Amino acid sequence: MADAEAKERRILVAVDEGEESMYALSWCLKNLICESSKDTLILLYVKPPRVVYTALDGTGYMFSSDIITTMEKYSNDVAGCVIEKAKTLCRDLQNVKVETKVEHGDPRDVICEMTGKLGADMLVMGSHGYGLIKRAFLGSVSNHCAQNASCPVLIVKRPKSTAGSN
Amino acid sequence: MADAEAKERRILVAVDEGEESMYALSWCLKNLICESSKDTLILLYVKPPRVVYTALDGTGYMFSSDIITTMEKYSNDVAGCVIEKAKTLCRDLQNVKVETKVEHGDPRDVICEMTGKLGADMLVMGSHGYGLIKRAFLGSVSNHCAQNASCPVLIVKRPKSTAGSN
């Protein structure tokens, strides 16, 4: 398109604590973002719902409020850490606006919902999505989003050759 | 990336007879392709394998060679028609090189194989992929490609609001 560079695209990148989502973000920065465009990059992290913590407790006992507070703090720390890491990857962007968003809930639903709410033109995510433990409970996030997001979804799989590098 | 516009990207678009793949191609032209870049767009159509024709015959009889010849001709006509339609959508591109490729086999395997063979940087496809009849036999092509292609995969779902427009 002749006007592709003038178009403002809103690109939503779903990040999590896995290396694959950071690879997806890097790939996006290298291959999709044009400095000359007016793109807005939105970094989204979804904190897991409490039901996941409960499910981890196989004993049938309820967690005490102390443990829940500790896990909430841990969850917030992870969110902060992931968002910081993602922002660091974006630090060299000059004309691109970078926004961050931390939400709470089932990542499959939240990510799809946010594509609509944030008016995203494209969603970028890793193919595994949302960590090994959460994936075991929640299934493939990327497959779900590809079918249910309100915009096109770019699924970035980390090449095997770099899978062990960090 | 500062050098994004100088980078030559090879974008493979899997097209079929469904409207969704043409929507995916149009979306790609509007949102991904920069006229100022040195992108190469490769339009790929995969003809169904003969086993699909055989599977359509529920009577247990072998098809006569006449029928097979007729179906082959039909398949070639469809391929030509799809590629022509896709090329028409690309006719306004001036600096982007457009290549076409017609292959034969299970689209899931062929598309993934071609991402590697053609050195694609990105694969673009509709979310349904490869027609209603073939999907019934072959399953979701886009899910398979997202997991197995050698490059990132952009899955474009046709918005519901335009689904009945042509």
Phi, psi for A149 (deg, rounded to 5): -70, 155
| A125, A127, A154, A161: best to mutate for the B interface, most B CBs within 10 A | A154
Give Cβ neighbours of residue B127 (< 8 Å, ≥ 6 apart): A146, A147, B20, B142, B155, B156, B157, B158
Minimal Cβ distance to B29: which of A1, A35, A153: A1
**Segment (H or E) for B12:** strand B10-14
pLDDT of A154 reads 96
As for the ipTM of the complex, it is 0.79
Cα A24 to the chain's mean position, in Å? 9
Closest CA to A37 of A164, A129, A122: A122
CB contact under 8 A, A7 and B31: yes
Q: How many CA atoms lie within 13 A of A128 on its CB side?
A: 19
Please give, rounded to a whole number of angstroms, the shortest distance from the CA of A165 to a CA of chain B.
18
Closest-CA residue of A relative to B144 is A143
Report which DSSP code applies to B77: H
What kind of architecture, by CATH, is found in domain A10-162? Answer: 3-Layer(aba) Sandwich (3.40)
Residues in B touching A1 (Cβ below 8 Å): 29-31, 33, 35
Question: For chain B, what is the mean pLDDT?
Answer: 82
> Quick check: B163 pLDDT over 50?
no
Cβ of A9 within 8 Å of Cβ of B31? The answer is yes
Residues in chain B with CB shorter than 8 Å from the CB of A34 are 4-5, 34
Angle between helices A19-31 and A65-89 (to 10 degrees): 30
Query: Which residues in chain B have their CB less than 8 angstroms from residue A163's CB?
Result: none
Is residue A26 predicted with pLDDT exceeding 90? yes
* pLDDT value of residue A166: 39
Asked if A4 and B152 come within 8 Å (Cβ–Cβ), the reply is: no
Q: What DSSP string describes A53-71?
A: HHHH-TTSPPPPHHHHHHH
pLDDT, tens digit, for every residue of B22-56? 999 999 999 998 766 789 999 999 998 765 555 55
> Bigger pLDDT: A1 or B88?
B88
> Taking 90 as the threshold, does the pLDDT of residue A61 lie above it?
no
Q: What integer is the mean pLDDT of A137-147?
A: 77
pLDDT at B100 > cutoff 50: yes
**Which residues of chain B are at the A interface, by a Cβ-Cβ cutoff of 8 Å?**
1-2, 4-5, 7, 9, 24, 27, 29-36, 121-122, 127, 142-143, 146-147, 149-150, 152-157, 159
Distance from CA of A48 to the nearest CA of B (A): 24
Average pLDDT over residues A31-45: 87
Cβ atoms of A120 and A114 within 8 Å: the answer is yes
Measured between alpha carbons, how far is A150 from A118 in angstroms, rounded to an integer? 10
Where is pLDDT greater, at B117 or A131?
B117
CATH class of B15-162: alpha beta
Contact A142 B146 (CB under 8 A): yes
CA distances from A51 to A45, A55, A106, A109 (A): 18, 6, 9, 14
In this predicted structure, what is the pLDDT of residue B1?
Answer: 43
A155 and B159 in contact by Cβ < 8 A?
A: no
Contact list, A153 vs chain B (CB under 8 Å): 154-155, 157
Q: Is the pLDDT of residue B151 over 90?
A: yes
* Residue of A31, A92, A115 best to disrupt the B interface, most CBs of B under 10 A: A31
Is pLDDT at B7 greater than 80 in this prediction?
Answer: no
